[in-house]
Structure 1
């Protein structure tokens, strides 16, 4: 009996030596997205994109755990806590909108788990502090996009601007950066209105905007709710130029807005019009790589800039995991999460679908002017505007 036990023990040890990977912890990526609720048109293509990310990185298995937060800030926080405390994830990606992402920061920081937001506001990563050192984001800073808009407005000789935006952190952030960008170009903001993401009417706000007689109006909304003010402005006979933010850069917005979108201009990531850009553009190849993968899975014309933000978050993880593993830290440990945070912060010259990442200790967004273009809705399609 003793001899059989000894043989069994030796066999177990031998198998452990031959198949060491079977006992290694895998990298866990937690994802919380707004796949239902007002921002579902953002969250659904983001969720679809998770399925395109690799299941193995540097010989290490990767598990993605995806939760729906229904565009609800409280649920986004609950999901983040669950992913960290119960699922023991090494990194959190999400959420789709600014209010939820801002609320998630405290959870990520106190748990010392890196977080990559796919929401736009610069407030998610700025000002840098002990909490935000754990937080990164992939959409272009709204300030970067506001500058592009102000430049285009100046070229069009617009002097007076009206503004209507979400009555939350997204709209407030855009108002702040647009005021600054407009002032630098000598553009006066003559009227400011707000509305909620789930409002069904903005007639009162639009009447006030039209009454101020601006040359152009900027709508600071995201997803399909951005169409509501646009349609009302057209219905009320507004003849000036309508601008949107990059939060409206998806096909669902075009579908809901219909013919009322024609002529609208907005800043967007290069991915939206990648096929229209010259081959010399430094982002075209990496953007087209994602476009081809997504459309192969979901059909021609199905691409969304929001899915691109999730793809870019995935590329940060793909790039950072091998670096973190080289430290000797094991997935599932505080040491690995810290090493992963450090690796993301040091990503340099990484072309993705929306730009080229150059992260640093003071910049956790990492994009420059290569991450933006101006597009126009023409014939129900996004058309690249190289002169703006």
Structure 2
């Protein structure tokens, strides 16, 4: 939490001389001070602290995603402390406190924490949900509490009602969707002449959404899913791989996040060595390579640009932003490798800060939340984030397109951009 007090002028010092010198000093002060004030507009400090509720899967199956997200929240809290908070449109400065909580990768825990942060901690916004399941559990709570929530998970249903296909008024996310990932996967599979694929996905909300997205995108692109099946993300044995071999598919698409994505990657590589392995963007983490080892070599996947920032063209504004963020992140964490999930937290929190910078002082909490939601819909325009450019609107609470993905492969234990002319 950021706290500070206004400076006081109570230090004793030499008294000014009386007479002409004192009169001249008064004249100079009267002339110079207005000029200084005009050149350096001051901001007053408000006593009220803005609170952001931050909920991530720091432990449990989603920990490989939630830990870097937590680290980003801590990094930005330090930066906010140094900057003395945010300044609103009325030049009033507010402290900002990021309240960090662990949902343990559980939907029920996430829902309980969301209620606490909205009703007891009185947060202005939530940045909440590493995984799709916990995020979906918090959607009705944030909606009922009329509190903007920015999710760090991917499922489309988080921000869009599946029945009405309309944007959920209070829910936002800067995270690419599995539909975007499936579009890029289909583009690649079609380019390499693959027509029959198998799809293996973890039995979670995220995994199920990857399969639903592939089922919607692949057939129109001339790609048949000849075998699809779910697996438990804690599994170590995969009978599905025997069925992959029997199906004769040319590629296996894996809809999972590490470590489960790594474990099944190894199983497929060991027992069906000749098939291509295509991951989704949920696997874009150094943990995939660390856990899968040599089995990750030659796998391909669409990823956010942050993962290959140093390989982007010079002058790309996304490259400049990412290299600065990566440098700050590595310095803060003692050299940890960056992941797309750190980028999800960074973008989500930056959106929250955009909203806070557009709040005038003196608003009630209810009005702060209303104004924050309005700012998200109207102030995020052609905004450069870690994954590309975003433009939000009342109808679109993601504002990102699949062409912003980088398509990457693993070679020599590193993620490398795979140019389209090298896809075959």
Report if TM-score (shorter chain) is over 0.5. Answer: yes
Looking at structure 2, the residues matched to 258 and 369 of structure 1 have their Cα atoms a distance apart, in angstroms, of 28
Cα-to-partner distance string for 1:80-124 (whole Å, 9 max, x where unaligned): 111111111111112100011011000000000000000011111
* 8 Å CA contact 2:299, 2:409 repeated in 1: yes
Task: Name the residue aligned to 1:194.
Answer: 230
What SS is found at the alignment partner of 1:132?
Answer: coil
Cα-to-partner distance string for 1:15-35 (whole Å, 9 max, x where unaligned): xxxx9736x211100011100
Kindly indicate whether residue 188 of structure 2 is the aligned counterpart of residue 152 of structure 1: yes
Gaps of 5+ in 2: 1-42, 88-92
Gaps of 5+ in 1: 1-18
**TM-score between the two structures when normalised by the length of structure 2:** 0.83
Check 1:20–1:316 CA distance in 2 against 1; reply closer, same or farther (3 A cut).
closer
Task: Name the residue aligned to 1:185.
Answer: 221
Which of 367, 378, 384 is the equivalent residue of 2:411?
378
**TM-score between the two structures when normalised by the length of structure 1:** 0.90
Q: CA deviation at 1:280?
A: 4.3
Which deviates more from structure 2 when the two are superposed, residues 62-71 or residues 277-286?
A: 277-286
Which deviates more from structure 2 when the two are superposed, residues 94-103 or residues 363-372?
A: 363-372
Looking at structure 2, the residues matched to 130 and 157 of structure 1 have their Cα atoms a distance apart, in angstroms, of 36
Q: CA deviation at 1:209?
A: 1.6
Check 1:274–1:131 CA distance in 2 against 1; reply closer, same or farther (3 A cut).
closer
* 8 Å CA contact 2:56, 2:103 repeated in 1: yes
Looking at structure 1, the residues matched to 188 and 334 of structure 2 have their Cα atoms a distance apart, in angstroms, of 33
What SS is found at the alignment partner of 2:358?
Answer: helix
Looking at structure 2, the residues matched to 207 and 281 of structure 1 have their Cα atoms a distance apart, in angstroms, of 45
Aligned pairs, how many?
Answer: 365
Once superposed, what is the RMSD of the aligned Cα atoms? 1.8
Aligned pairs (5 A) from 1:246-285: 246-285=281-320
Looking at structure 2, the residues matched to 111 and 295 of structure 1 have their Cα atoms a distance apart, in angstroms, of 36
Kindly indicate whether residue 75 of structure 2 is the aligned counterpart of residue 52 of structure 1: yes
Task: Name the residue aligned to 1:117.
Answer: 151
Task: Name the residue aligned to 2:108.
Answer: 74
Q: CA deviation at 1:210?
A: 1.9
* 8 Å CA contact 1:161, 1:188 repeated in 2: yes
* 8 Å CA contact 1:217, 1:241 repeated in 2: yes
Task: Name the residue aligned to 1:243.
Answer: 278
Task: Name the residue aligned to 1:303.
Answer: 338
Check 1:131–1:262 CA distance in 2 against 1; reply closer, same or farther (3 A cut).
closer
What SS is found at the alignment partner of 1:223?
Answer: coil
Check 1:181–1:80 CA distance in 2 against 1; reply closer, same or farther (3 A cut).
same
* 8 Å CA contact 1:123, 1:173 repeated in 2: no
Cα-to-partner distance string for 1:307-365 (whole Å, 9 max, x where unaligned): 1000000111122212233xx553x6100011001101121111011111100111111
